[in-house]
Structure 1
Amino acid sequence: MIFRWVIFAVLLCGMFEQAFSRNAPLLMRHADSLAAMRKAGFLLLHGRVYFTHDSIAFRTGRATWNKTLDQVECEGNFLFTHPDGFIKANRGSYQRKTEIAIASGTVEAKDSAGTYAFFGDHLVYNKKNKILTLTQKPVLQQYQKQKNGKIDTTTIRAEFISFDQNAEFAKAFQNVVITQGSMIVTCDSGFLDKKNNWVALKGSPKFTMDGYELTGDSIYLTIDSDKRTLKSALVIRNAKGKQHEKGKNGKPDQFTEATGDTLYTEFADDKIKRLYVNLNANGFFYESDFADYKNKMEGGRLDLAFKNGKLRAALISGDAQSSYFHVMEKKRQIDGKNEAAGDTIRIAFSDGKVKHLKLSGKKTLASGRYIDLTKENIFPKMEIDTTMKNFTKKNFQKINDEKIKERNLKKNQEKISAKKEEVK
């Protein structure tokens, strides 16, 4: 029985607090000068104007108070403070009944915890629902302190941004650009759920990050909240993924691409770990010095595994087909091409190159063939630096011209000497 009375008392206090908040008056605490327009119901305030309403307060240089609407229009360095943060702007307004504050002209707003910041030329803050809406060059920044003391920043730019403080949920529309470290995302509509650590992108979305690129109709990203790194990415319809691993110690760069209806990738410390493509799966990989000779993989489903960013294994399922070029490493010359087909094809890689291949098939009989390309003498396409060659040619020509000049001069001198002898 006592427990019920306690619950009732708590609910009653909550209801009383809400009612008090709704009925709390809008109070003008200070102004250097005041002029009244009684018939119109206006008060004109100048100099260090200070208002309060319940838990909020705002200051400005000049203000017009409409007593009928219980609304204040402010000009001259508007500063609005509340328990959750503050808003600064050139101009602003506040209405008591709706508890809505509007700020315009070089707007800056931050939460009290220093986790979020908002910038733009126009902001609307709904105090009841704790929702901020930004238009006119809006920018939202979210900060998170790392273990090493550095601040990791996520920035959202768009034509329209809305942020729910309670849910920590942001919505952005039109020309959306999201950046975090090396990650850059562009789309028409973006949704960021900070509490659950996911991002949804729609309308021609494109994701890029340190050698990775994803495109499709929709992209869903999950984030590791502790490390602030990408955990996974799901691309739905018209999915396409690209991966570029830079070569080390003079080795060529390696490229991998995959397309299909659905694409899913897993990451570890921002390095790709696994890539899965479903329905009309196509993929190819190649090295930068043999860009015209792409190794292909096709089937109903494609599973790729990576280690340290390099392709480690591939499984092609459902009417599987593959073709890859064999490279003689010492000469960096292509000497053959392998073609295979079956229900499934398993490929193992070593340092990004095919190590061995396993076929199996019932519906599609396993088959393979090797094409000898040694006679074609295929070498990497290289840009030949002819600077030294041209320099040498020019020098030889110059030396040759000087020799000819000396020879002609000697002949002329001999002719002159001969004529002098005849005269004697």
Structure 2
Amino acid sequence: MRKILVVGAGQSGLQLALGLQSHGYEVTLMSNRTADEIRSGRVMSTQCMFDTALQHERDLQLNFWEQQAPKIGGLGVSVAAPGSHDPGPTQRAIDWLGRLDGYAQSVDQRVKMAGWMETFAQRGGQLVIHGAAVSDLDYFSRAYDLVMVSAGKGELVQMFGRDPERSPYGEPQRALAVAYVHGLGPRPEHPDLDAVRCNLVPGVGELFVMPTLTTSGRADILFWEGIPGGPLDVFNGVKDPAEHLSLTLELMEKFTPWEYARATKVELTDAGGTLAGRYAPTVRNPVGRLPGGGLVLGVADVVVANDPITGQGSNSASKCAAAYLSSILERGEKEFDEEWMRATFDRYWDTAQHVTKWTNAMLAPPPEHIINLLGAAGQLPPVADRFANAFNDPADFENFFYEPEKTAAYLGSVAGA
């Protein structure tokens, strides 16, 4: 029986550990917190998982919350009219909704990670509650056939060198602020449809609104992405959750009054329902070398950390875990050497590179052809639907998004159809 150590109990680490466990591997999982500490702690993310990522969970029969979580059937895009937020109410230059072919879902990671961790232990997995340092891994690497690091923060990440070719940004491109709330009203134009709403405020940032399942049932996530140094970059140092929420709402009233109109009665889901921070999007070398010469393989956002502007973090983590699981199973009894590790990462990068390219493009001011594409989606429902479904398969953006010629050809074909 091959022994595998997974460090980090997030989406990818737990999905990998449970997947390997189901195939008879002897798996040890290291987490710096217990399931109860996770469940009662702060929110960790904004996650909206699209159909492909959800299917990886279904394949492993880990979709424990599928019946309770809201089924997200659409993705809406609004663009604030330029210059309209100073002074007077903001108008929308663009506002449309695309329909998803397969529904998306969001489950608060406090709910999911705690539940999965308990399942892993119940199924006989070795769960070690301990914050791992490089020195720990040096010791453990001698006892395991493979060590994988899926804890995306802290000193362990430093083992994996930055890949400058694939990392155009050296600094954070957005300041992030999240609030989980109860009491958000429906969008009047689609009161019965759960949808993710992407509100773009040019030169200022973005507001995302998405339905989720949290520890206290159904809720909604209000998520600001502010351009650093701009009017949304005001959450640094705000420790009081109530102050965080009131700032969130104040900014909604100013920049996205159409979303604020349904948020006048919201309250935080719990004292841990807010999160703020920032990080530079980075792609890293997938193989880490320990002081004693052992090798470790980086997983998901340890090696590919994108800004959350495209909502891909948990999707990428699920896809990475699925790709790595297949590679491990195919390896059989052979050694998990450096060549195998690099090939395993390359298999994941086949999909991840599309996410990175798209995300980095969305962080930059949109070129004219993208504004035209978003505008056309308001007139042409097939364009709105295709854009929405590309969140599930970002590789499709290659066909109609990046190059003005391809965008024009695609819009011409739809308009002429």
TM-score range, shorter chain: under 0.3
TM-score norm. by structure 1 comes to 0.17
Higher relative contact order (CA 8 A, sep 6+): 2
Larger of the two Rg values belongs to structure: 1
TM-score norm. by structure 2 comes to 0.17
More strand by share: 1
